[in-house]
Amino acid sequence: MDGLRVIPTWRHGRERLYVCLPDGRNIAWYDREAGRVNLLGEDREDDVLRTLGPFITGPVTVGPPPVPTPAELARLTLHPDDDLAPNRPGESLLVALDRDPGPARRLRPDPRRRALEAEQTVGDALDRLDGAGWHAVHSVPLPGGSRIHHLLIGPGGLFALHTLYARKQRVTVADPLVTLGRREPIALLRRVRADADRASYALTAEVRPVLALVGPTAVSVPAAPREVRVLTDLEVQTLARQGGVLKPADVEALHAMARDRNTWTRV
């Protein structure tokens, strides 16, 4: 793989050497103190080790990022203000609409309410997976005012979902562009991937990006987008069919990290 580069950073007082793709996404990092190379995808192991070769000192172990230890989990006892678990689907939009409902009469529907409907529709579907060993965290705030609409954690891994209201619209997905009906296309898949990448960084685990379309009349995807799964709101529960990636203890550990607001303050 060409174009990989190494970027040194400091995280929690420890140096990490991140291996990044040309577009800036992280695919691995080397923790010198721990003597470990953490991979977000096993298929890139040879390329990562070749790129890190000049920087590695001494023997290293190579593998997926470790989940938090019980001692680390003990530090995650949360103040209620820092716990994201009670967030409702579309929590940020609900708060915004409560503060500023907008004029009673509008020539066009408030786009915030359509976005809220989309997040609530997808969020309700994800919440129904709770009994199957999955957890959903909604409206995860990120620095800069952005947020992850939904984060799903379970036996099949982690997914960052971005919802899009598409009621009675034909949707065309041509990476990175998404077109609703006759509107101008937007490069939405870049944000979908960026959100998942930030979540991977915060949780030190692979998070896969998903675009969830709510209510489309038809979906056209001429070529499969890079890394992003495109699903309708009626299909999002199929994510629960993914299995064999995380053990129950790993799921609970990652959920504990994801629900802590402080996890997301430096991504």
pLDDT over 70 (residue 254): yes
pLDDT over 90 (residue 110): no
Q: What's the whole-model pTM score?
A: 0.78
pLDDT digits (tens, 9 = 90+) for 201-216: 999 999 999 999 999 9
Residue labelled with tokens 């953490």 = 38
Residue labelled with tokens 């023997």 = 59
Category of 168 on φ-ψ map: left (φ > 0), alpha (ψ -120 to 50) or beta: left
- 226 vs 12, higher pLDDT: 226
Q: What is the pLDDT of residue 212?
A: 98
Q: What is the pLDDT of residue 74?
A: 55
Q: What is the pLDDT of residue 1?
A: 46
Q: How many CB atoms lie within 10 A of CB 178?
A: 23
- Sorted by where each begins, the domain ranges of the chain are 5-63, 70-264
Q: Give the closest residue to 49 by CA, choosing from 65, 27, 25.
A: 27
Q: Is the peptide bond before 222 cis (omega within 30 degrees of 0)?
A: no
What is the average pLDDT score of the chain?
Answer: 89
